[in-house]
Structure 1
């Protein structure tokens, strides 16, 4: 098996190769939270770049709660024409385009809401950017389930070729899965079976709305990498339930806004605690060993479900080595595609990921290594890298050649763009919890 091989999914859909451009938060929506020509332009560039599958950034199911200003929101058919244009661009050259559907839960910034929702009233402690959430009622949980189903139905109508349910990285479904954040004592909290109830209910509702022949993916944490959080053992069990529910592809990632393993931050070496997993740690990518353990759990139980691993791949050799191990069918990259949009074709030609397709390192000197012990420094460093890639993504969407600015200047530009989006969102915001 290599990167050029096709892959047939359980629902019957077929991917032209094993390279996936995974979710990247675009922040390109208009003041109505609808898709724009920039979405079509950006995803057509990526579709022509050679990947077999493109997955969008967080598309929100509720306009009151966003991951960041500039998210596209799909609640009803009012933005359907713009979605169709986006889908047309992203499915160029027989490329699959899947809409990632998400609800931020407590990871909704104060720029959007001063009272976000969560399973329990447990606040996200991250530089004061997030307000204390309100615990959801039964009616609000039922509403979220319905919203995911509606969003998936509209995605199919618009021409997207699949959907992904974001149950990772500390967003709402991930919050329900975590015993650290979900402290409910009703049927939505307590045991893992109760904490996974929301995820499985959403999968069932989405399948009901899109039919048996439409790909449904789930993005799941291998672990939260927090004491008392969602563990690798929990992830293995959820994978078994998702396979039984007919999920077509499980993407394995990890971490949350409080532990940024998804973005390469491995925490304070003096205090970080990881789950027991292959003792040699990551051989290729951040989560390969974890994904292999989940794949083994599926095989031991006689379950079959394709797996994708995402995070930290920076060489073609590493990607091919992971596929050669067996048990993992797809390899995902996000940030490298922001800097090198034709990366898929390069990899398929046998070339490697360009060494300069990333932000400048700010960890090389002794002072930076010492500062890494402080969470605030780590968060700023990681966010600078995220902003560097986000600004390049935005410039591609606008039709510009990306500028190679520093992570610090990129972070300033990124923050200003979010503030500008927040200020120009069309009022009123019906029902927003402000």
Structure 2
């Protein structure tokens, strides 16, 4: 049986010190020109001291013209490499591994955020109410797809130069890779659309380009949906096929989640015992041939230990429990019967409670306060957090946020 304190050696030869992973959460701590703000090194130093073996950054965009939300950090050239280096150094304290999550939003960006509009596999609008939040994107040409692959490779190479311990390609939650994988959003008739073999071509080609850019001894991972959980979307069986393909290519870590803006299962779950996606993760691990992480819904030490001992995953990903308690991992590792105080945030104001804005603003506010060394409890008033974030970023930025 795997213990939470056991080290894990990845296919590239790098060893992670234990089986706990800090999942990516949006920090919205980029400057006006998209450099990392000083709060990011401080925040990740705190998580590194908290004992978690592998820390994943919030999404870092590969193109300043393609932001997913206000406050995104972008790594596309050398301009801010010193700032990224400070982030890498502080997030690698006490033996932690800090990986950069690389992302492109595709059409999943608020209307008006990107001056040149958005791009996607196909020029299809989002269904229903999401069409008001996200404009219909322009379809990418094949040459543009190749250019995006090159951008991911360049950003990965720069992350390595800056001192990060690895990179992860974000192919879940409805972003660009996820849009290519989904037959609901990809109706192309060329080599990047139609069959699953074609729909996963962009992801696999980009993985190959990133691997070539960073070399065989540098960790490269992928975050993948177990399913989109919408009719006509990316299915579990298709996900297993992509898992096998990534495994054959030696992917160092496949992190499994699920859902998109249309169906945010990464936040809601389905009530499964042992985390939101643990049952699927167990199936994926049986065919992957490489380490698998499952993230979502893990709130107590017993559930984490059970997932590892029963073979659901090689690592367990934690998000909000580490915001509420940066020492949560250390307590789990010490054998404490610890549980998290993560709970739904309610203000009594229906539009706020049902929009997702409140949850995002509250956790981003807490991350800022953690970076300043403050202690924050789960009882902190949601409306005060929203007021602080609005005062800092402006109402337009706060209310043009993604829902998950």
TM-score between the two structures when normalised by the length of structure 1? 0.85
Q: 1:107 to 1:265 in 2, by over 3 A?
A: same
Contact 2:300 2:340 in 1 (8 A): no
Give the alignment partner of residue 322 of structure 2, picking from 337, 340, 352: 337
Contact 2:22 2:54 in 1 (8 A): yes
Q: 1:350 to 1:386 in 2, by over 3 A?
A: farther
Contact 1:359 1:406 in 2 (8 A): no
Contact 2:321 2:340 in 1 (8 A): no
**Partner SS state of residue 77, structure 1:** coil
Contact 2:34 2:71 in 1 (8 A): yes
Distance in 2, matches of 1:5 and 1:22, equals 19
Deviations 1:288-328 (A, max 9, x none): 01111212334xxxxx1100000000111001111011251
Contact 2:293 2:314 in 1 (8 A): yes
Match of 1:217 in 2: 221
Match of 2:122 in 1: 120
Give the alignment partner of residue 368 of structure 2, picking from 384, 387, 394: 394
**Partner SS state of residue 128, structure 1:** helix
Match of 2:17 in 1: 16
Contact 2:125 2:131 in 1 (8 A): no
Structure 2 unaligned runs (5+)? Answer: 399-404
Distance in 1, matches of 2:353 and 2:258, equals 17
Match of 2:32 in 1: 31
Distance in 2, matches of 1:175 and 1:51, equals 31
**What is the Cα deviation at residue 121 of structure 1?**
1.5
Distance in 2, matches of 1:416 and 1:194, equals 46
Distance in 1, matches of 2:395 and 2:89, equals 28
Give the alignment partner of residue 165 of structure 1, picking from 163, 169, 177: 169
Distance in 1, matches of 2:144 and 2:393, equals 27
Give the alignment of 1:151-162 within 5 angstroms: 151-162=155-166
Give the alignment of 1:411-426 within 5 angstroms: 411=386, 413-414=388-389, 417-419=392-394
TM-score between the two structures when normalised by the length of structure 2? 0.91
Match of 2:402 in 1: none
Distance in 1, matches of 2:301 and 2:307, equals 10
Match of 1:287 in 2: 277
**What is the Cα deviation at residue 123 of structure 1?**
2.2
Contact 1:31 1:421 in 2 (8 A): no
Deviations 1:329-381 (A, max 9, x none): 0000011111101111111112244443x245549xxx99xx9xxxx88752x
Match of 1:250 in 2: 254
RMSD: 2.3
Distance in 2, matches of 1:421 and 1:35, equals 21
Contact 2:7 2:17 in 1 (8 A): yes
Match of 1:63 in 2: 64
**What is the Cα deviation at residue 388 of structure 1?**
1.9
| Stretch moving more, 345-354 or 211-220 | 345-354
Distance in 2, matches of 1:18 and 1:251, equals 13
| Stretch moving more, 388-397 or 157-166 | 388-397
Match of 1:406 in 2: 381
Q: 1:25 to 1:405 in 2, by over 3 A?
A: same
Give the alignment of 1:262-341 within 5 angstroms: 262-264=266-268, 282-298=272-288, 304-326=289-311, 328-341=313-326
Contact 1:107 1:170 in 2 (8 A): yes
| Stretch moving more, 136-145 or 116-125 | 116-125
Distance in 1, matches of 2:269 and 2:388, equals 22
Distance in 2, matches of 1:40 and 1:412, equals 25
| Stretch moving more, 109-118 or 282-291 | 109-118
**Partner SS state of residue 132, structure 2:** coil
Match of 1:188 in 2: 192
Structure 1 unaligned runs (5+)? Answer: 267-280, 299-303, 424-434
Contact 1:338 1:390 in 2 (8 A): no
Distance in 2, matches of 1:332 and 1:69, equals 25
**Partner SS state of residue 78, structure 1:** coil
Distance in 1, matches of 2:82 and 2:121, equals 34
Distance in 2, matches of 1:41 and 1:95, equals 14
**Partner SS state of residue 166, structure 1:** strand
**Partner SS state of residue 181, structure 1:** coil
